[in-house]
Amino acid sequence: MRILSAKVENYMGVKLFDADFDKDKNVVEITGKNGQGKTGSLDGIWAAIAGKGAIADNPIREGEESATLQVNFGHLIATRKFKRKEEKEYTTNLTLTTPEGARFPKPQEMLNEFFNSIALDPIEFLRKESKQQTLIFRSLISDFDFDENDEQINTLAEKRQNTNRDVKSLQARVDAFQLPAKLPEDAIDEHELIKQLAGAQERNQERQNEISRRDTSEAEIKGLRDTANAQSVESASATSRAIEEGHRLIAEAKAQADKLRADAEIQAVELSKEAETKHQAANDIQAKLDELLPIPGPINPTEIQELIEEAKASNALYSKKQQYDALAEELRLKKLEARGFDGNINELRKKAEDAVKTADLPVPGIGFDENGLTFKGLPLSQASKAEQIRVCCAIVAALNPELRICRISDGSLLDQMSFDLLEGFAKKYDMQVFIETVESSRQGAIVIEAGEIVSKN
């Protein structure tokens, strides 16, 4: 479907634009000097089709009370009328009729089914940012939700960014660890060494107590023997003294001497028995001492204490090694997590790429990546001008499958070769291209001056 004729009256700076368009020509060129009404004429055509979003802020020509826009598609005629109220306020209404006069309800909704307002200008499309171009292009593929796919990618990318931040932090902590080349394989049981030290100290104390007990027994034996020996000597000395005393006294009193001798002999016997008892007691104690096992040598606690200090140092290294291993493992898992996000993101991107590859696109080889549109695997911006125009025309045509029209506002930017290419692609894709130029002399161009059509080249 294309526009067969259009009428723009008293719209913006246009006094009257009333033209029939050759149905065999795909390019409608509107030319003239700047400020003569070229843009207003095309704006009026678009406002008649696209509705309120395309209507100018002050649509009615200065000094006029009403304006009319009419676009004839052959089987349908769209007519939008404006009536001035106060100052810049106005009323507007749209009708959609057949040539016979039959009216359609909800005319704008019906027009919207034919008309896609985005990317109507191929040249403007080329000048859009890569992101905008991509969004427009993706709208051609209706069976894949790129927005949801993007949202999932952005969510994963944010998680990946946080994970990579953790990876960087963990890597710095791992790199900061300074460990000797040789590290203990296992921890040493310090408690067991401390237990051994306590046992050694207890055993040394028992040994000292045993030595003291034995020294006491030996001193007791010596005391008994010394006492016994002294008593034996005393016994012999007492007898000798008694005999001497007896001889001295014998003369004095024989009877008294006999008594003294008898007493001395009794005392000597008693002393001898006591000495024998003490000797026997000493012998008994000595026998018991002889039966005791030898006292073991002392245990050096310093050696065990040194082992404890070595164990502490070794265990400190082992603990540090455990911390390092735990950090290294956490780092490894974080890296795996980050790679997992990479895989998920790549999978989502591949889904989008597959959706593009399997889609029925207007131009083979067109696609997009994170940087924008591509053509034959290269950025569209690196394609030739002919390829760029071809791609853009194809996209515009695909966006408007019913009403295959588009508008180029800056047609003066096209040289003759580009214009010829555009004309060829318009014919190829069965498009009706309205192009605005400045003072063109090309055949068939509609010339506008002072808001009116003055001639046709």
Is the predicted pLDDT of residue 318 greater than 70, yes or no?
A: yes
* pLDDT grade for 120, boundaries at 50, 70 and 90: low
Residues 211 and 300 in one domain: yes
Residues 409 and 449 in one domain: yes
Residues 191 and 305 in one domain: yes
Residues 255 and 290 in one domain: yes
356 against 362, higher pLDDT: 356
Task: Report the CATH number that the domain containing residue 53 is assigned in CATH.
Answer: 3.40.50.300
Is the predicted pLDDT of residue 81 greater than 80, yes or no?
A: yes
Would you state the pLDDT for residue 116?
Answer: 58
Burial of 20 (0-12, 13-18, 19+ CB in 10 A): exposed
Cα–Cα distance for residue pair 454/397, rounded to 1 Å:
31
Would you state the pLDDT for residue 246?
Answer: 65
Which residues pair with residue 375 across a beta bridge? 366, 378
Residues 329 and 241 in one domain: yes
Residues 179 and 126 in one domain: no
pTM over 0.75: no
Instruction: Please state the domain count of the chain.
Output: 3
Average pLDDT over residues 227-231: 80
Which residues pair with residue 392 across a beta bridge? none
* pLDDT grade for 119, boundaries at 50, 70 and 90: very low
- Tens digit of pLDDT for each residue in 252-287? 656 666 676 777 778 777 777 877 887 787 787 778
Residues 247 and 390 in one domain: no
- Tens digit of pLDDT for each residue in 146-158? 889 999 999 999 9
Residue type at position 450: A
Residues 165 and 306 in one domain: yes
- Give the domain extent around 386: 119-140+361-399
Asked if 367 contacts 356 with a C-beta cutoff of 8 angstroms, the reply is: yes
Residues 327 and 251 in one domain: yes
Is the predicted pLDDT of residue 70 greater than 70, yes or no?
A: yes
Is the predicted pLDDT of residue 29 greater than 60, yes or no?
A: yes
Would you state the pLDDT for residue 153?
Answer: 92
Residues 381 and 450 in one domain: no
Residue type at position 63: G
Residues 369 and 407 in one domain: no
Is the predicted pLDDT of residue 401 greater than 70, yes or no?
A: no
Phi–psi pair at 415, nearest 5 degrees: -80, 180
61 against 372, higher pLDDT: 61
Lowest mean pLDDT across 5-19, 93-107, 108-122, 376-390:
108-122
Domain boundary among 283, 318, 353: 353
Asked if 57 contacts 1 with a C-beta cutoff of 8 angstroms, the reply is: no
Q: Can you spell out the DSSP letters for 18-82?
A: EEE--TT-SEEEEE-STTSSHHHHHHHHHHHHH-GGGS-SS-BPTT-SEEEEEEE-SS-EEEEEE
Residues 134 and 64 in one domain: no
Average pLDDT over residues 211-216: 85
Is the predicted pLDDT of residue 174 greater than 70, yes or no?
A: yes
Asked if 375 contacts 366 with a C-beta cutoff of 8 angstroms, the reply is: yes
- Cα dihedral sign for 361, 365, 368, 374? negative
Average pLDDT over residues 63-78: 93
